Amino acid sequence: MVRVLKPLSAVVLACGALVSVGTPAGAADPAPEVIPIDLLLAGSYTDVSREAIAIWNKAVPTVKFVEQDTPAALRVMEYKTAKGVQSHVNIKGAGRGWVYLEVGDAQLYKPSRIVVHELGHILSLPDSGPGPCSKVMTGASAGADCPNDQPDAAEIAAVTDYFARNDVGDRVPWWGSGSPAR
């Protein structure tokens, strides 16, 4: 019996040591803010929306979009207008609302850039106006030939900072002018 206990106690001690390696007491990484999202109405934007979700999830690990197969507080919908352009959002609080993706926009701009841009609004970022292709929040003003769908360091820092001070559902400060963000 003593022979069995000695090896068993060594295994228990080793496991305990492994669990505590690199994890100081109370220093566990906080769980990310979870944003449930559904793509039930995303149509031709479904796969590219998953791509955009993965881009943001990798860029900002403190916030995580989680797709669900029932209606969520954040919904993505493909639609078509007579003009053929005008993807936009309707924000109901950070991480909540609607992302409307116009079919014609995908003929003019890189589809993943469109969705990453619109999800950027949902994550609290306003349009950054005319500017370089390196910023996803410049949107269409960067030009139709802009292939960049990766948020830059400043955009990532702004989202990270917002969610360090706010929760999913909190008011997005710049939202509320009455017109949709594009």
Integer Cα distance of 91 and 114 in angstroms = 16
- Distances from the Cα of 62 to the Cαs of 7, 33, 97, 154, 168, in angstroms? 41, 6, 20, 16, 12
What's the pLDDT score for residue 177? 54
The residue extents of the domains of the chain are 33-165
What's the pLDDT score for residue 180? 54
Give the pair of three-digit tokens for residue 89.
Answer: 């959002």
Give the pair of three-digit tokens for residue 32.
Answer: 């990310």
What are residue 81's phi and psi, to 5 degrees?
-115, 170
What's the pLDDT score for residue 113? 97
Domain 33-165, CATH? 3.40.390.10
How does pLDDT run along the chain (182 residues), one tens digit per residue?
444 444 444 444 444 444 444 445 556 678 999 999 999 999 999 999 999 999 999 999 999 999 999 999 999 999 998 887 899 999 999 999 999 999 999 999 999 999 999 999 999 999 998 989 999 999 999 999 999 999 999 999 999 999 999 999 999 999 975 445 66
Residues 98, 100, 106, 110: is their CA dihedral positive or negative? negative
What's the pLDDT score for residue 25? 53
Integer Cα distance of 180 and 182 in angstroms = 6
